[in-house]
């Protein structure tokens, strides 16, 4: 947050660098996801696995949806 509070040339450069790296990271993740999904659909088509093929096509039409692996703290403890 200091990068935004004290805008000087080095802070602006650092912020843009972090933003660029984060953007490239998620773009690469999306490319890998799409490649694996296309390969999965091809194998389902070749093995005549029709149900999974159509399920995969419907998910593919929705597009890439990034997910975070953050675990949120629960306010109410779970009783086992």
Query: What digits encode the pLDDT tens for the residues 33-70?
Result: 889 888 988 898 888 888 888 888 888 777 766 666 66
d(CA 63, CA 60): 5
The reported pLDDT for the residue numbered 77 is: 53
Instruction: Read off the tokens for 13.
Output: 């450069």
Q: How far apart are CA 73 and CA 5, in angstroms?
A: 29
**Is there a domain that residue 79 lies in?**
no
Is residue 42 within 8 Å of residue 57, measured between CB atoms? no
Mean pLDDT of the chain: 79
Residue 11 lies in a domain: yes
Average pLDDT of span 7-31: 87
Total of domains in the chain: 1
pLDDT value at residue 80: 47
Residue 8 lies in a domain: yes
Residue 8, CA atoms < 13 Å, CB-side half-sphere: 3
Range of the domain at 11: 2-62
Is the pTM above the cut of 0.75? no
Q: 78: pLDDT confidence band, cut at 50, 70 and 90?
A: low
Tell me the C-alpha distance between 50 and 8, whole Å: 58
């Amino acid at each position: 947050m200091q990068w935004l509070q004290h805008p000087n040339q080095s802070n602006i450069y650092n912020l843009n660098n972090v933003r660029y790296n984060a953007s490239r990271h998620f773009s690469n993740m999306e490319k890998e996801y799409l490649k694996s999904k296309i390969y999965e659909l091809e194998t389902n088509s070749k093995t005549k696995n029709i149900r999974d093929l159509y399920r995969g096509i419907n998910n593919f039409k929705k597009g890439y949806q990034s997910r975070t692996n953050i675990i949120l703290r629960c306010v109410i403890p779970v009783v086992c």
